[in-house]
Amino acid sequence: MEGRHGAPTREAAEAAAARAPATTPAPGLAAPPPDGGPGLLDGLEEGVVVCDRAGVVRAANPAARALLPALRVGEVVDVARCEVLARAVHDRDAPASFETVVVHPEGERHLRGRRGPVLGPAPPPPPEPRDGDTTWYLRDVTGEHARTDTLLAAQERAAFLAEAGRALHGVLHLDRTARRVVALAVPRLAAGVTLVVRHDDTLTWACAELGGGRPRLGHAEATDLARVPRLAAALTGEGAGTGDPFLAGDLATLTGLEAPAGGVRALAVPTTGVVDALVVLAGPRSAGPDTGDALAVAEEDVLTSYVARAGAALAAAALHEEQAHLGAVLQESLAASRLPATPGIAWGAAYRPARETMRVGGDFYEVVDGSERSAFLLGDVCGKGIEAAVLSGRVRQSWHALRLLEDRPGRLLPLLNTALLDAVATRAESPRFATMVLGDARPLGDGTVVLRLATGGHPPPLVLRASGEVEAVPVSGMLVGGLREARFGEAEVLLGPGDTCLLYSDGVVEARGAGDFFGEERLAETLPRCAGTPAAVLCEHLEQTVVSWLDGHDHDDIAMLAVQAPPHAAGVPPKE
């Protein structure tokens, strides 16, 4: 086969191979075979088309045929459906190169064309190829590699920064953020990294070293900065003092860790003034901003971008910490109270606010131990979330104060009503209503407990007898905090040993699952199963039943309080 058609001279082939793909016009090409069969040209990745003066295609290598499937050897170039090429072939004055887009069975192809030398009438005879000759195509790829390396390096930098951003972004705790800032920076940015953050009166430092394991973290008082003046200057100087060569010594004094042996570099961390922060790099990869080399500039860019991300994360964490502290203090003061251990009375409670992350809501209960009578309160202010919780706090504080003056529930509730109306009047608020049951419990010494109850606008309490019977306490009243002359209901209940009185908020019966509301009936059906169980177990069981009824659906605040006359002796609860 190889001997059937002409081949380039050795020199031409070498020249072509050496400069490929920049120049491969196959200058020594003799009359090519009409089918454009195999030969040296066939191995080229560049497509080669040879046309005569009339524009008839004399030869085309496989690469050209692959690019232009309609191209036919022996036919005019126009049939190849590449207009720009056809024009270039016919018009010798057309530009010597072009770029175009051709339609191809595998989708559009971007094509770059370049005119080769015009072939002479009598090309020098090629050496006769021999059986077993091998062919090599050589290409200079220096530029390609340089481009790839640059690209990979740029990708690595981008990936590092993206990963750092992601890893820092989710952490809203200052210590953890500090630890992450140093952990992520080693070894990408330096062999050792120390971060110092001042937030209010506290200094936090974190230090990671190559091969040093888990980053170390410590705290100090801001006043300790007096011992380390150079560090203090660098920390607060917004960049000034970061070049101090003795900074490392100060850092070692603060952290109690060994000072890094080699060169260090300090950078102020931009935190928009929320905290002061400084990173100190030991053995940094980027020595400084003032080097001309493109790679060094890019490295410096990575460092400053990283420090900027770290600054944003530290600022966010510090701000979140302040807010979280505020929230935690508020939550603590508004959270459901602990139940006392009262001789002769067993208490149980369950609390599930609508916004579970808040852990506080508009439902509330309180129990206060007394020498003779223990007072209790369960209620619900309208709304949910922190606004409702704050209002519920007002109700509870008013109750705590007023019950010292008036312990009869039937009189206490109207006082509370007036107090709420007065409080609203002083604040130009729209009226906020509450519903509640309040009362007290007195153990009589024979195992029974007598309850006095008053209620306003609230679902009637249920009594679960030790026998499993359920009774609603027939008591009702008007909303609390609505009208000055509102009327409230009163009742007295005697609990025998093992009897339980359950106060609950409407979140229990209005819990809406996939189908229906939980409802009073279902509540009354669930209760007998808990006959004889401790009050705490009863509430826990009910809470669980209601939450499984909800099946993941949103719910209102849920509160329950159970008052129980303890069973006489330990007994096995009835089996279902």
Partner 1 sequence: MTTTSPPTDPVALRAAYLERLAASDEPGAVAVALGALDAGVDAETVLLDVVAGAQREVGDLWAAGEWTVVQEHVATHISERVVAAVAQRAPAPASSALGKVAVACLDGEWHGLPARLLAEVLARHGWAVEFLGASVPAAQLATHLHRAGPDVVAISSSLPSRLPAARRMVEACHATGTPVLAGGAAFGEDGRWARAVGADGWAPDGRAAAAMLAADPDGPWFADEAATATGTPGDVPAREEQAVLHARRAELVRHVAAALRPETAGGPVGTVPDELADDLGHLVDFLAAAVFVDDPGLFDGFVRWVGTVTIPDGLRTGEVAAALDALAAALADSPRTVRLLRSAPGAHGGQPATVG
Least gap, CB of 532 to partner 1 (angstroms): 8
Please say which residue, 293 or 576, places its beta carbon nearer to partner 1. Answer: 576
Interface pick for partner 1 out of 111, 296, 390, 537 (rule CB under 8 A): 537
For position 554 contacting partner 1 by CB under 8 A, the verdict is no
Check residue 540 for interaction with partner 1 (CB under 8 A): yes
- Asked if 394 interacts with partner 1 (CB under 8 A), we say no
34 binds partner 1 (CB under 8 A): no
Closer by beta carbon to partner 1, 354 or else 480: 354
CB of 131 to partner 1, least distance (A): 53
Q: Which stretch binds partner 1 (CB under 8 A): 121-129, 426-434, 499-507, 536-544?
A: 536-544
Q: Does 551 bind partner 1 (CB under 8 A)?
A: yes
**What are the b/e assignments for 428-444, b being 16+ CB within 10 Å?**
eeeebbbbbbbbbbbbe
Q: Which is nearer to partner 1, 299 or 556 (CB)?
A: 556
For the bound state, the minimum distance from the C-beta of residue 371 to partner 1, rounded and expressed in Å, comes to 24
Sign of CA dihedral 316, 318, 323, 329: positive
SS3 label, residue 224: helix
- Taking the least distance from each CB to partner 1, the nearer of 97 and 548 is 548
327 or 385: whose CB is closer to partner 1? 327
The verdict on 119 binding partner 1 (CB under 8 A) reads no
What would the two tokens of residue 458 be? 């609230």
56 binds partner 1 (CB under 8 A): no
* Helix orientation angle between 385-405 and 409-425, rounded to the nearest 10 degrees: 130
Q: How far apart are CA 441 and CA 438, in angstroms?
A: 10
Cβ proximity to partner 1: between 387 and 540 the closer is: 540
Identity of the amino acid at 450: V
Closest CA to 199 of 217, 174, 224: 174
Q: Does 530 bind partner 1 (CB under 8 A)?
A: yes
CA distance 5 to 29: 9
Nearer to partner 1, 285 or 529 (CB): 529
Among candidates 544, 527, 536, which has minimal Cα distance to 563? 536
Among 122, 128, 514, 554, binds partner 1 (CB under 8 A): 514
Rounded CA-CA distance 438/389 in Å is 18
Return d(Cα 233, Cα 235) in angstroms, integer.
Answer: 5
Write the CB contacts of 313 (distance below 8 Å, at least 6 apart in sequence).
168, 169, 171, 177, 180, 181
Instruction: Figure out which of the listed residues 53, 214, 338, 427 binds partner 1, where binding follows CB under 8 A.
Output: 214
Dihedral through CA 426, CA 431, CA 435, CA 440, nearest 10?
Answer: 10
Q: How far is the CB of 2 from partner 1 (least distance, A)?
A: 52
256: contact with partner 1 by CB under 8 A = no
Closest CA to 557 of 306, 382, 304, 322: 382
CB of 559 to partner 1, least distance (A): 16
**Residue ranges of the alpha helices (H) in 76-141?**
83-90
Nearest approach, Cβ of residue 448 and partner 1 (Å)? 20
Three-class SS state of 366: strand
Does residue 536 interact with partner 1 by CB under 8 A? yes
Rounded Cα gap, residues 392 and 383, in angstroms: 10
Q: 158 CB contacts (<8 Å, ≥6 apart)?
A: none
* Number of residues this chain uses to bind partner 1 (CB under 8 A): 42
Q: How far is the CB of 469 from partner 1 (least distance, A)?
A: 17
Residue 262 makes CB contacts below 8 A (sequence gap 6+) with: 191, 282, 283
Piece in contact with partner 1 (CB under 8 A), picked from 254-262, 267-275, 410-418, 507-515: 507-515
Site for partner 1 in 168-207 (CB under 8 A): 170-176, 180
Q: How many Å apart are CA 6 and CA 123, to the nearest integer?
A: 10
Going residue by residue from 339 to 368, which x/- string records binding to partner 1, judged by CB under 8 A? -----------------xx-x---------
Q: Which of residues 312-331 bind partner 1 (CB under 8 A)?
A: 320-321, 324, 327-328
Query: Applying CB under 8 A, which residues contact partner 1?
Result: 167, 170-176, 180, 214, 320-321, 324, 327-328, 356-357, 359, 513-516, 522, 529-530, 533-534, 536-537, 540-541, 544, 547-548, 551-552, 570-573, 575-576
